[in-house]
Amino acid sequence: MSYKSKIIVNEELPELRKKLQSAKHQKVKLKLKSLIMLKEYPDKKQEDIANHLCVGYSTLKRWYRSYHMQGLNAFLRIIPTGVRKSVVSKEIHEAMQVKLNDSTDPLLGYWHAVIWVESTFNVTIKYQTIRKYMIKHFNTKLKVPRKSHYQKDDQAIEAFLKTP
């Protein structure tokens, strides 16, 4: 059960609305809308505000706690997460490309690629990582055509196909 909010918004409504109009990030807009609603309707429950904004109740509580502890500027700051660095380095990529195009000593599968990278570069990379990387960058597949039997007789096949 949620209770009436005890958080006090220090900023005035025109200032908050002005910041809302200039905000570009959707999360910042939601945070500002929550503060505006809290300022306009001080008797409204936090759960109702969360439902109106389509935000989780615990998320709204975390936002209000952040606003109360750090102030408006820290509350509205969005910290960029960035892009994760690839596990496969450029030299591994280039060596893998050469190895995949080598017809004399090719990679026999993804497990073989994992073992080859570990023995050649002393880097441990998980099977799924190598598999997804090779599929994405080199369009590899595990499917290979079936091999013919080594004792297959081509003349017998021709004779079989000619018979009516």
- Residue 108 has a pLDDT of 84
Q: What is the largest CA-CA distance in the chain?
A: 96
- Residue 117 has a pLDDT of 95
- Residue 10 has a pLDDT of 84
Phi, psi (degrees; rounded to nearest 5) at 45: -75, 150
Regions of the chain short of the pLDDT cut 70? 1-5, 144-147, 163-164
- Residue 74 has a pLDDT of 87
Domain ranges in the chain are 13-76, 90-138
- Residue 121 has a pLDDT of 94
pTM for the predicted model, two decimal places: 0.51
- Residue 134 has a pLDDT of 94
- Residue 105 has a pLDDT of 84
DSSP labels, the chain: ---B------S-HHHHHHHHHH--SHHHHHHHHHHHHHHH-TTSBHHHHHHHHT--HHHHHHHHHHHHHH-HHHHH-------PPPSS-HHHHHHHHHHHH-SSS---SHHHHHHHHHHHH-----HHHHHHHHHHHH---S--PPPPPTT--HHHHHHHHH--
- Residue 142 has a pLDDT of 77
